[in-house]
Amino acid sequence: MANVLANIFGSSPVRPLEKHIGVAFQCAKQLHAFFAAAIKGNWEKASAVRGEIERLEHEADDLKKQIRLSLPKSLFMPVPREDLLELLLVQDKIANRTRDVSGIVMGRKMPIPAVIADQFLEFVDRNVDAAKQARKSVRELDELFTAGFRGAEVNLVEALIEELDRIETDTDDKQAALRGAVFEIEDTLNPVDAVFLYQVIELTGEIADMAERVGRRLELLLSH
């Protein structure tokens, strides 16, 4: 009887979602150290960072499963359950892409040409920035719920998402420039390496794409 009041509250997905994006960002953040080691050819260090990436990716996966399980259809929420699950899914993809990229580089002990090294790291960092901005935006979820998805808080989140979009556009520009730079030196590369280098650039760029989609999902929540 005493538990009536306690039990009518389903477990809130808000804090877990905020925690999940935190882990996904931490995962993406490792890419800097990973590529820095790879560029130097320090595969021992790269392998250690890769281990950390895998651990964080697993952690994000576990959180994702827990959140899904704690969101039964009988929940009555201010926003549709499906939208929250979609948000969770794109958040998780930030960690997935990080794992994929580091996996390819690690598996092939892929050499990254010194000529493009600085430009490459800058591009990686900008993608990590996008993930960070996504985290900052998602962390406003509890305030959004408190304010009922209206008013000053909405403007604040919209500003955060605009900034996220700017970062993503920036990664696109950097990606194009980086591909150009790789094209310039293509003849000097082993053809298979060149193909994979393009693929790694592509996949890394998807981290910012996923971060941007986190923003799109948040916007959808705002429109309710």
Partner 1 sequence: MEAEIVYIVLAAIFGLFMAWGIGANDVANAMATSVGSKALTIKQAILVAAIFEFLGAVLAGGEVTDTVRKGIVDTDLLAGSPKLLVYGMLAALLAAGTWLFIASKNGWPVSTTHSIVGAIVGFAAVGIGVDAVQWAKVGTIVMSWVVSPLIAGFIAYLIYQTVQRLILRQDDPLAKAKRYVPVYIFLAAFTITLVTILKGLSHVGLTISIRESYLLATVIAISIALLGAVAIRRIEPDKKAEKHQHFYTVERVFGILMIVTACGMAFAHGSNDVANAIGPLAAVVSVAQNGVITAKAGLPIWVLMLGGAGIVVGLATYGRHVIATVGKKITQLTPSRGFAAELAAATTIVIASGTGIPISTTHTLVGAVLGVGLARGIEAIDLRVVARILVSWVVTIPAGAFLAIVFFFIFKTVLP
Interface with partner 1 (CB under 8 A):
1-14, 71-72, 74-78, 139, 142-143, 145-153
Residue 77 or 181 with smaller CB distance to partner 1: 77
Residue 155 or 190 with smaller CB distance to partner 1: 155
Q: Which two tokens stand for residue 170?
A: 């920036």
Give least dist CB 213 to partner 1, A.
23
Distance CA 204, CA 28 (A): 10
Using DSSP's 3-state secondary structure scheme, residue 185 falls into coil
Give least dist CB 169 to partner 1, A.
28
Taking the mean position of all CA atoms in its chain, how far away is CA 21?
8
Residue 74 or 223 with smaller CB distance to partner 1: 74
Neighbours of 182 (CB within 10 A): 20
Give least dist CB 153 to partner 1, A.
7
Residue 149 or 198 with smaller CB distance to partner 1: 149
Burial of 125 (0-12, 13-18, 19+ CB in 10 A): middle
Give least dist CB 6 to partner 1, A.
4
Give least dist CB 78 to partner 1, A.
4
25 CB contacts (<8 Å, ≥6 apart)?
94, 128, 131, 132, 134, 135
Residue 11 or 199 with smaller CB distance to partner 1: 11
Contact (Cβ atoms closer than 8 angstroms) between residue 78 and residue 86:
no
Q: Is the dihedral of CA 76, 134, 47, 112 positive or negative?
A: positive
